Amino acid sequence: MAGKHTFVNALEKNAKYIGNELAVVQGHRSLTFKTLNDRANQLGRVLSSLNIKRGERIALGLTNSIEFVESTYGAWKCACISVPLNYRFMDDELVHVLNNSDSVAAILEEEYLETFLRIKPRTPKLRFLLVVGETKSNSAENIYNYEQIINLQCTEKPALGWPEQTDQDIGYNIYTGGTTGMPKGISFNEKAMIKSTIEAFSSALPNQLLALSKAPDHSFGASTVGKLLSSPLGRKFLSAKTTSLIARWTLEHIPLSYNRITAKRTAGALRVLVVSPMMHSLGWVLSFSLPKLGATLYLLESSSYDPQEALQTMQRHKINFLGAIGDATLKPLLKELDSNDYDLSELKGIFASGMPTSAEVKEGLLKKHMLNTRFIDFIGGSELTGMAFKVYTSKDTEFNKSSFPITDRILIVNSKTGEPVSPGEVGELARQTDHLPNGYYNDPEKTRQLIKSFHGKSWLMSGDLAQLDDQGYFHFVGRGSECINTGGEKVYPEEVENLLRKLPDIKEVGLTATPSSQWGELVTAVVHLHDGSELTAEEIIEYTKGKISGYKRPKRVIFTDHFPITLIGKPHYRALREMAKAPRDSKVVND
């Protein structure tokens, strides 16, 4: 049996106790827990037969799919490490990730085979390719058809000549989006990944319980428990400091070991749809942690996001939870909901991360279409999914998307001294955690910048800048690496981008800098307009007048029909900087 706290152990127990329940569904395809475990065993045997050893890395060139799930489990079955690849990477980025991660094999979809063959001479450590699709096996070239080679193996666990995986072993190596430089690979063991997310929830419990104690009576429901909690005595209980301390201690000490009773109660009753990429932290956590409890994972059949398909899936399968990427997925979802009716009465919660969700989208979803749904707005990154979060409901009146409550595990600090900043000052967002990632693979210097010690504790430095207010909240400002210095003043792109996105003619916008002999850097907006728009640079810049400080207003506007974005919908700032350097039609407005 695999290590008792591992995902593999949970899969094997689920196969034993709830084996006939659905584990993962994608369109018309589905796997039960038993079938998923059998196929993971088969893949594990394949990998070990290819002489792949404990701790070696298997790259996954896969979109959200059943194959992604079973390939990850298959790698873990032989104590290997999965390396999800961003399928938008260009050749140089892909070569960098494969070489930097020391990947020895790749499991990939057929459409990426040509790319892998093209870069093969530049990736000497990559020995084997397992291809999902119609490609025929060619052992001379070390290319194998995924389905064919799996079906040659029996369903028994692979016999290993080394210890099985534990929750202290690195389980996966996830690469950042590379918006400001080449991607970096952050390594996690399973325990750190799950426990750090639990810590984020537990540290926010006091604020959440206090807010619940002040909620309207109808928020508690008509059940006996609801009536008790909404009573004066119940509200006093919720607001009591002792209650939050006990609840927090209980949550942080939840054992990670498998619980058969929980799995049997959850099986078939908890259904989660993940539309955020499984190669990124939120998508990965939801795709593997909830099924560990016996939940069913649902994936879209289309390789690209389709809001209509997402809503049809949610309605047909009575989805309880949705994992999404901020405005990139929820804005088109809201647009579809505004046009057509869907029954989302079973939807209990939305987990959103990866990029901001605008106040307009949160309010539109909760006030018009999801009256009984909780919206959990995360900020974080590849290095830590649960840096902080805030919960919204239809009862809220304020949907500020960049304001989050301070907890005892969060500080806004001077990144050089580690000293907390005063209200009104901008500093780096730092998170204290007892379960740190293993660091950036093959990059000790970046790891030292990521994990710092001060005040007698270890802190994870996010690279995100935030401003502390005097009400116990912090406001996300932007990435420090994307800050523009114009005449000695600091301009953070997100604030200006959010303002410009309110112009209905603008489809995409990103802020970057153009070198200036006078100001050092000139604030430059790169804009992609909706088809048919005749919005001018002068109108864009005039729109910002009186809404933000003069030095923050764009002085140059570049129009483009090919706006560079990352996989999770953020502006690709490195590409924007290159666009701003290149000679092109643009408008400079002096005022």
Secondary structure (3-state) at 421: coil
Q: Which of 363, 421, 424 shows the shortest CA–CA distance to 395? A: 363
Mean pLDDT of the chain: 86
Those residues whose C-beta lies under 8 Å from the C-beta of residue 68, and which sit 6 or more positions away, are 60, 62, 84, 278, 287
* Number of CB atoms found within 10 A of residue 359's CB: 16
d(CA 377, CA 399): 10
The answer to whether residue 487 sits within a structural domain is yes
Q: What is the pLDDT, as a whole number, of residue 356? A: 75
Residues 508, 392 share a domain: no
The answer to whether residue 442 sits within a structural domain is no
d(CA 541, CA 554): 6
- CATH number of the domain at 157, please: 3.40.50.12780
The yes-or-no verdict on residue 179 having pLDDT over 70 is no
d(CA 53, CA 104): 10
Q: Which of 62, 43, 146, 58 shows the shortest CA–CA distance to 111? A: 62
The answer to whether residue 461 sits within a structural domain is no
Evaluate whether 322 touches 275 at the Cβ level (below 8 Å).
yes
C-alpha R_g of the chain: 24
The yes-or-no verdict on residue 81 having pLDDT over 80 is yes
Lowest mean per-residue pLDDT among 42-51, 140-149, 216-225, 483-492: 216-225
The answer to whether residue 429 sits within a structural domain is no
Q: What is the pLDDT, as a whole number, of residue 31? A: 98
Residues 225, 158 share a domain: no
d(CA 66, CA 86): 17
Q: What is the pLDDT, as a whole number, of residue 238? A: 65
d(CA 449, CA 432): 15
User: In the listed set 378, 405, 432, which residue is the last one of a domain according to the structure?
Assistant: 405
* 590 confidence band (pLDDT: 50, 70, 90): very low
The yes-or-no verdict on residue 133 having pLDDT over 90 is yes
Residues 98, 209 share a domain: no
Residues 148, 222 share a domain: no
Residues 139, 203 share a domain: no
Which has more pLDDT, 184 or 337?
Answer: 337
Residues 271, 201 share a domain: yes
Average of pLDDT values for 496-506? 92
* 354 confidence band (pLDDT: 50, 70, 90): confident
Strand-pair partners of 559? 527
Evaluate whether 380 touches 406 at the Cβ level (below 8 Å).
no
The answer to whether residue 341 sits within a structural domain is yes
Average of pLDDT values for 320-339? 93
Secondary structure (3-state) at 459: strand
The yes-or-no verdict on residue 282 having pLDDT over 90 is no
Those residues whose C-beta lies under 8 Å from the C-beta of residue 351, and which sit 6 or more positions away, are 282, 286, 321, 322, 323, 324, 376, 378
Q: pLDDT of 416-458, one tens digit each?
A: 788 888 898 888 888 887 777 888 999 888 888 888 888 788 8
Secondary structure string (H, E, C) spanning 358-383: CHHHHHHHHHHHCCCCEEEEEEEECC
* 557 confidence band (pLDDT: 50, 70, 90): very high
Evaluate whether 286 touches 272 at the Cβ level (below 8 Å).
yes
Domains identified in the chain, total number: 3
The answer to whether residue 423 sits within a structural domain is no
Lowest mean per-residue pLDDT among 162-171, 204-213, 514-523, 573-582: 204-213
Which tokens hold the place of 391? Answer: 């919960």
Q: What is the pLDDT, as a whole number, of residue 253? A: 62
Evaluate whether 275 touches 321 at the Cβ level (below 8 Å).
no
What single-letter DSSP state applies at residue 422? P
Which has more pLDDT, 105 or 470?
Answer: 105
Residues 129, 17 share a domain: yes
User: In the listed set 127, 147, 167, which residue is the last one of a domain according to the structure?
Assistant: 167
Average of pLDDT values for 395-411? 79
Average of pLDDT values for 468-484? 81
Residues 74, 37 share a domain: yes
Average of pLDDT values for 95-116? 96
Q: pLDDT of 376-385, one tens digit each?
A: 888 777 776 6
Residues 119, 253 share a domain: no
Range of the domain at 275: 195-405
- CATH number of the domain at 540, please: 3.30.300.30
Residues 208, 154 share a domain: no
Residues 151, 18 share a domain: yes
Which tokens hold the place of 478? Answer: 């932007």
Residues 137, 214 share a domain: no
User: In the listed set 372, 405, 438, which residue is the last one of a domain according to the structure?
Assistant: 405
End-to-end CA distance of the chain: 70
The answer to whether residue 413 sits within a structural domain is no
Which tokens hold the place of 419? Answer: 């000293």
Calculated CA dihedral for residues 15, 20, 26, 27, nearest 10 degrees: 170
The answer to whether residue 179 sits within a structural domain is no
- CATH number of the domain at 330, please: 3.40.50.980
* 197 confidence band (pLDDT: 50, 70, 90): low
d(CA 70, CA 66): 6
Cut 0.85: pTM above it:
no
